[in-house]
């Protein structure tokens, strides 16, 4: 493999991964929910204190409604603890991408195998961090978003009420971006190794 080809594809995959991250984390279509049901009376007449819980990640937002008295405490615990880890991982991922790009730019053309290896390593770290963010989001949707209680509460006034939740296109782009970041990182590591071997 010629070094110039490896560097070209490494840079291409890195740019593609960063672009996909920007689109995925900069849009609000991570979770799509459809509510279906005919109510006997309007939800405003159902009584009880209602609230809209606003979940905002580092770059995206999701909204869920529920009963304040039933889920307020758990939502606040989630808001401060879980979201804190989420945001830190996202910031570390962005910092890793910036560092990786800086090292690769400084390494061109064939300047130092250490810089290529460092850039590749940071791209791999960024891919791992962003994959952890995606996994944490899936855990939140599956375990922390109390959709069952929300559905049961709605069925008190709408017996045929149903809510359908599925992941949106923003969510689908994030793992693809992770794949390209990891691929770019491995290519730059190989380029750095090849430069080191040819320098001996």
CATH number of the domain that residue 136 is part of: 1.20.140.150
Residues paired with 65 in a beta bridge = 52
Residue with tokens 């994030």, as numbered in its chain:
174
Banded pLDDT at 200 (limits 50, 70, 90): low
Report the pLDDT value the prediction gives residue 74, as an integer from 0 to 100: 56
Q: Are the beta carbons of 38 and 157 closer than 8 angstroms?
A: no
Token pair for residue 166?
A: 């599925």
195 vs 109: CA distance, rounded Å: 11
pLDDT tens digit sequence for 42-58:
445 444 333 333 333 33
Report the pLDDT value the prediction gives residue 199, as an integer from 0 to 100: 74
What is the distance between the terminal CA atoms of the chain, rounded to a whole angstrom? 18
Query: Containing domain of residue 143, as a range?
Result: 3-199
Length reported for the chain: 200
Question: Which has the closest alpha carbon to 156: 69, 43, 27?
Answer: 43
pLDDT tens digit sequence for 127-182:
999 999 889 888 877 776 666 777 777 777 777 777 777 777 888 898 999 999 99
How many domains are contained in the chain?
Answer: 1
Of 29-43, 65-79, 130-144, the poorest mean pLDDT is in: 65-79
154 vs 177: CA distance, rounded Å: 37
């Amino acid at each position: 493999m010629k070094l110039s080809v490896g560097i070209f594809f490494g840079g291409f995959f890195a740019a593609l991964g960063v672009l996909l991250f920007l689109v995925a984390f900069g849009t609000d279509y991570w979770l799509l929910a459809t509510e279906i049901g005919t109510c006997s009376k309007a939800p405003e007449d159902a009584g009880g204190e209602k609230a809209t819980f606003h979940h905002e990640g580092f770059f995206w937002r999701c909204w869920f409604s529920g009963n304040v008295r039933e889920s307020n405490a758990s939502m606040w615990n989630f808001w401060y603890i879980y979201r804190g880890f989420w945001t830190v991982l996202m910031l570390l991922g962005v910092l890793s991408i910036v560092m990786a790009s800086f090292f690769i730019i400084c390494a061109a053309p064939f300047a130092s195998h250490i810089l290529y290896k460092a850039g590749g390593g940071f791209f791999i770290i960024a891919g791992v961090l962003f994959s952890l963010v995606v996994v944490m989001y899936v855990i939140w949707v599956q375990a922390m978003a109390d959709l069952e209680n929300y559905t049961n509460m709605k069925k008190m006034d709408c017996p045929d009420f149903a809510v359908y939740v599925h992941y949106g296109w923003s969510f689908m782009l994030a793992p693809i971006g992770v794949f390209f970041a990891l691929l770019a990182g491995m290519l730059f590591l190989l380029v750095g190794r090849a430069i080191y071997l040819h320098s001996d």
